[in-house]
């Protein structure tokens, strides 16, 4: 590891924006919605990461990956959907 200003900026970004920012976002979401709804959104993290890798780095997404993403999205939709009684 080469310690320089670029590394310091990257480490600061990871600690402040990503780690602390995500915790504040989690608390905000929990304050405004149910825990089951908020926790179900975590199932969208792997599909979101795969889509970002596809768009930013040109990684391929297999057919089984697309099916898995669709199933995860469908599951989250079913959990977060409001039902009329």
* Domains of the chain, residue spans: 1-32, 34-85
How many residues comprise the chain?
A: 85
**How many CA atoms are closer than 13 Å to the CA of 18, on its beta-carbon side?**
7
**Tokens at 76, concatenated:** 């989250």
pTM: 0.71
Distance, in Å, from the CA atom of 63 to the CA atom of 11, rounded to the nearest integer, reads 35
Low-confidence ranges of the chain (pLDDT < 50): none
Q: What pLDDT sits at residue 9?
A: 93
Q: For residue 52, what is the DSSP state?
A: H
How many Å from the N-terminal Cα to the C-terminal Cα in the chain? 58
At 84 the pLDDT is 74
**pLDDT score at 41:** 93
pLDDT of residue 85: 72
Q: Which two tokens stand for residue 48?
A: 């979101």
Q: Give the model's pLDDT for residue 74.
A: 97
């Amino acid at each position: 590891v080469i310690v320089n200003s670029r590394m310091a900026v990257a480490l600061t970004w990871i600690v402040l924006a990503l780690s602390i920012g995500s915790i504040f976002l989690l608390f905000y979401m929990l304050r405004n919605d149910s825990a089951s709804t908020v926790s179900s959104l975590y199932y969208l993290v792997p599909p979101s990461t795969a889509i970002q890798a596809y768009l930013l780095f040109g990684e391929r997404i297999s057919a089984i990956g697309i099916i898995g993403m669709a199933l995860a999205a469908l599951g989250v939709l079913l959990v977060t959907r409001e039902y009329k009684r």
